[in-house]
Amino acid sequence: MTDTVFITGVTSGFGYATALRFAKAGWKLILTGRRTERLEKLKAQLSSVPVHIITLDVRDANAVKQAVATLPEEFKSIKTLVNNAGLALAPDLAQKVALEDWHTMIDTNITGLVNVTHALLPSLIATGKGATIINLGSIAGQWPYPGSHVYGASKAFVKQFSYNLRCDLLGTGVRVTDIAPGMAETEFTLVRTGGNQKASDDLYQGTTPLSAEDIGEQIYHIATLPDHINYNRVEIMPVRQAWSAFAVDRDK
Euclidean distance between CA atoms 228 and 171, whole angstroms: 11
Told to judge if 151 belongs to the known catalytic residues of this protein, a careful annotator would answer yes
Tell me the backbone φ, ψ of residue 47, rounded to 5 degrees.
Answer: -70, -10
Euclidean distance between CA atoms 163 and 217, whole angstroms: 22
C-alpha to C-alpha distances, 219 to 24, 201, 222, 234, nearest whole angstrom = 13, 26, 5, 10
Nearest CA-CA partner of 183 in 145, 135, 153, 219: 145
Among 16, 151, 204, 220, which one carries the catalytic annotation?
Answer: 151
Residue 173, classed as helix, strand or coil, is coil
Element (H, E) at 43: helix 36-45
Euclidean distance between CA atoms 63 and 116, whole angstroms: 10
| Structure-derived torsion over alpha carbons of residues 229, 231, 237, 238, reported in degrees to the nearest 10 | 10
- Which residues are tagged catalytic? 151
